[in-house]
């Protein structure tokens, strides 16, 4: 099972459309209500129209050490994507503020990670707008 982390803490996944890999959707798999599973290695510009019209996008993270998903999220937001943007499993609580600043709305975590890093650790980083390096430098 997985849990969804937002600025309010842990919650259940309320996105009922499911997610389909980008290759499947671009190959013609019908999916009106589903979201798109995106890898950081996928070419955003080649699928621009499809991505900008998606209800939800989940970007995969191979591990917490792979930061390419943050760049992908920021690029999607700069392209004009306004839908639901989810960080797939692989992030840790220390990365929550960075994920939110990159443009993610929520983070998906496993139940095992939720046991190791309880809700309080994630909520500690939920005030992500107040504490960033640039504001400290300007301060």
Average pLDDT estimate for 52-56? 92
pTM of the model: 0.87
**Phi, psi of 104, deg, nearest 5:** -70, 145
Q: What is the CATH number of the domain that holds 38?
A: 3.20.20.70
108 neighbors 2 (Cβ within 8 angstroms): yes
Average pLDDT estimate for 63-87? 94
For residue 2, pLDDT beyond 70: yes
Count of structural domains within the chain:
1
Cα–Cα dist 113/88, whole Å: 13
The predicted structure's pLDDT at residue 30: 60
Q: Containing domain of residue 92, as a range? A: 2-138
Phi-psi category of 103—alpha, beta or left, where left has phi over 0 and alpha has psi -120 to 50? left
């Amino acid at each position: 099972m997985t849990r969804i982390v937002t600025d309010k803490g842990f919650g259940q996944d309320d996105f009922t459309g499911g997610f389909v890999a980008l290759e499947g959707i671009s190959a013609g798999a019908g999916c009106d209500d589903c979201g798109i599973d995106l890898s950081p290695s996928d070419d955003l510009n080649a699928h621009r129209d499809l991505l900008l019209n998606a209800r939800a996008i989940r970007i995969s993270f191979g591990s917490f050490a792979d930061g390419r998903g943050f760049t992908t999220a920021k690029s999607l937001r700069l392209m004009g994507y306004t839908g639901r943007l989810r960080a797939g499993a692989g992030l840790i609580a220390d990365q929550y503020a960075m994920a939110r600043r990159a443009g993610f709305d929520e983070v998906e975590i496993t139940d095992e990670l939720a046991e190791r890093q309880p809700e309080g650790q994630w909520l500690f980083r939920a005030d992500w707008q107040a504490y960033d390096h640039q504001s400290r430098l300007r301060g």
